[in-house]
Amino acid sequence: SQLKNKGKYKNIIPLYYQKMDEVIGKVIRLTNKNTPLLVLSDHGFGPFDWEINLNTWLKQNGFLYLKSGSTSPELYENVDWSKTTAFAAGFNSVYLNAKGRENQGIVEQKNREKVIKKIKAGLKNLKNTFNKKSVIKNVYSRKDLNIPENIDAPDLIVGYYQGFRSSWETAVGAAPEKTIKKRTAKWSGDHLFDASEVPGVIFSNKKLELKNPFIGDIMPFVLKKLKAYQ
């Protein structure tokens, strides 16, 4: 992290943990031993050292095309949709230019799985050109996540290793010159990695009868303690 050994800010994270511990202490003192107390987060956090330009990778690997004479698209304005089979939007999402779904879609239903497999395989082989480390831990298709066809969702969700994250340019449809760029801005931490890289936490002063609790278990637990759900 860029905060390492940066003067007055180098201890800011442990100091913040101490501050939150004091808050929890105040809550405990306001309750009694019969009061259920949950402390949880929906995700963890990690370093953001490298920016990944997904649209650049898609362009370099023959999935996204620009109009003749164009360089980098801004908000996809220079994309040649008559040739483009996939594009990235947001921070972790890749969409097929699917015929019948996208305005200028060209990928036939029968060919979607083939394109998805090619993109998945290519992205999982992506290495950091600076240190040869793998960039992407997992690439999930809608089928992998059991997402029904009628749900509006990306065709692929990219799960990065800690340290790597989609660039701001990717989020708005740009395709800069290089696929990987060293992060130099002060924003040096994030959580948009593969979920297994940044798991959340859950602490309870009452026994949780759950082997692998996830965020969807919280509401049933609370309702049960309130005797509103059995």
The pLDDT tens digits for 132-154 are 999 999 999 999 999 998 889 99
Pairing of strands 38-40, 202-204: antiparallel
Q: What is the residue extent of each domain of the chain?
A: 7-43+199-225, 47-197
65: amino acid identity, one letter: Y
Higher-pLDDT residue of 203 and 105 is 105
Work out the pLDDT band at 95, boundaries 50, 70, 90: very high
Work out the pLDDT band at 73, boundaries 50, 70, 90: low
Give me the percent of the chain exceeding a pLDDT of 70: 94
Q: Please give the DSSP secondary-structure letter assigned to residue 161.
A: P
Separation of alpha carbons 98 and 85, rounded Å: 7
Separation of alpha carbons 194 and 204, rounded Å: 25
- State yes or no: pLDDT of 1 exceeds 90: no
Give all strands of the β-sheet with 136-141 in edge-to-edge order: 86-89, 93-96, 156-160, 136-141
Separation of alpha carbons 78 and 165, rounded Å: 24
- State yes or no: pLDDT of 179 exceeds 80: yes
Work out the pLDDT band at 97, boundaries 50, 70, 90: very high
Separation of alpha carbons 230 and 217, rounded Å: 13
Separation of alpha carbons 98 and 87, rounded Å: 11
pLDDT in tens, 55-70: 999 999 999 999 887 7
Residue 176 · residue 29 · CB < 8 Å: no
